[in-house]
Structure 1
């Protein structure tokens, strides 16, 4: 795997076009850098290209042009197996719908993130319990998702994203299924993780959620513009 000394995320002329006929451009060529410890939000309406960008950053899709470096690794040069390993080890995902197994405890759901990394069971259990405590659920490790509130389920999902100590936490509408008070508590948790040095990228349609970031990327019709706090929006 080729490496460069660079940001956690470095997109260089990245674009995505789906073949036709007619071909459809989901993401126009753009550059984006996200450094270690940054909290960046991406906002835009439905159909704007947010999902396409998320899939590229999350190594779930391959761009049709440009270069993507993750932790300095040129993702175009890796094998499918190496790509899966990068995704598992370096990216923690948090989704709107939690994606928890209903008949597994909070601790077991978090442990599952380490199964394919061949982490010994005893180590998995300890790490899962530790990270659940970190997100404020040390008292709920044996709770089933059906016994947890929406906010608690999302905290389990965040714990699962953190347990492998990834370089990046990638959140897709993390508050979309939560009421305003619960959403605020989850965003406060993301703020705490950011304060601890975690690199966080949140994709959202909610401008209030987007305002939590140090920088906000607006995507519309597949084109990106960036806003830094107290600055005027400029093209990426």
Structure 2
């Protein structure tokens, strides 16, 4: 675990966080756990299908609320927020990268990234410049005006990553980011995530692929809703 700098709060802190879906019978999708992810870490989360990875991702991404415990994002108690405040916090602090890209097919790469900043508080006048900078950062300066159907799978995922980081979030949350890519494109995307991490981005990757997980500084494992962490103690 990296040392905390300037006493800044952890990006993610779980204090006994759990989620139980109501029954009958009730299902403990995530049993009480403690997790600490500091700023600038690259953490992988692995586990078999149905283990609780998606539940963990949804809680971290403020898509679901835990039924127990406290989740602090950048030191903010997310459980104390109203729905509109949670939505605003998610937009400002979390960049999402999904397996399926989720790009608008009839919009250019630049337009897709610009539109991704609609709800994260970036002033309208800054969006185009931010989008160009993000696409240059991911190696797509020559593809600004290309629509997704004219891009390879790896390029589409790079556009999705540019969209996720253009708003300068605290956390890049990736769900199986190489799941739809061939080996060459997957390696390219993992290299990019490593470069973003080296630049100081906090990266959390949900994956079933041990090769992808190995790119992280440390690994959290979920099985039957139980979180275990290799390389660091979990309270």
Cα distance in 2 between the residues matched to 1:35 and 1:234: 14
Whole-Å separation in 1 of the counterparts to 2:9 and 2:123: 32
Distance 1:29 1:120, change over 3 A: closer
What TM-score, normalized by structure 2, do the two folds share?
0.94
Match of 2:192 among 160, 165, 189: 189
Instruction: Please provide the CA RMSD for this pair.
Output: 1.5
Q: Which residue of 2 aligns with 1:21?
A: 24
User: Which of 147, 157, 162 pairs up with 2:160?
Assistant: 157
2:181 aligns with: 178
- Work out the CA distance in 2 between the residues paired with 1:122 and 1:235: 44
* Unaligned runs of at least 5 residues, structure 1: none
Instruction: Verify: 1:212 aligned to 2:206, yes or no.
Output: no
Separation of aligned partners in 2, 1:145 and 1:25: 39
For 1:103 and 1:151, the matched residues in 2 are separated by 18
CA offset digits 1:143-170 (Å, max 9, x no partner): 1000000000000000000010000000
Residue of structure 1 in register with 2:4 after alignment: none
**In the aligned structure 1, how far is the partner of 2:109 from the partner of 2:168?**
18
Secondary structure of the equivalent of 2:116?
A: helix
Distance (whole Å) between structure 2 residues aligned to residue 192 and residue 119 of structure 1: 24
SS of the residue corresponding to residue 59 of structure 1 reads coil
What's the CA shift for 1:212?
A: 0.4
Query: Structure 1 length normalisation: TM-score?
Result: 0.94
State the distance in 1 between where 2:138 and 2:207 align.
Answer: 21
Q: Within 5 A, what are the aligned runs for 1:104-119?
A: 104-117=107-120, 119=122
Structure 1 pair 193/227, CA: closer, same or farther in 2 (3 Å)? Answer: same
What is the deviation of 1:115?
1.6
* 1:143 match: 146
Tell me how many residue pairs correspond in the alignment: 229
1:102-144: CA deviation from partner (whole Å, max 9, x where unpaired): 0000000001121234645442111101110000001101110
Provide closer, same or farther for how the CA distance between residues 235 and 83 of structure 1 changes in structure 2, counting only shifts above 3 A. Answer: closer
Match of 2:76 among 52, 63, 73: 73
CA distance in 1, matches of 2:161, 2:8: 28
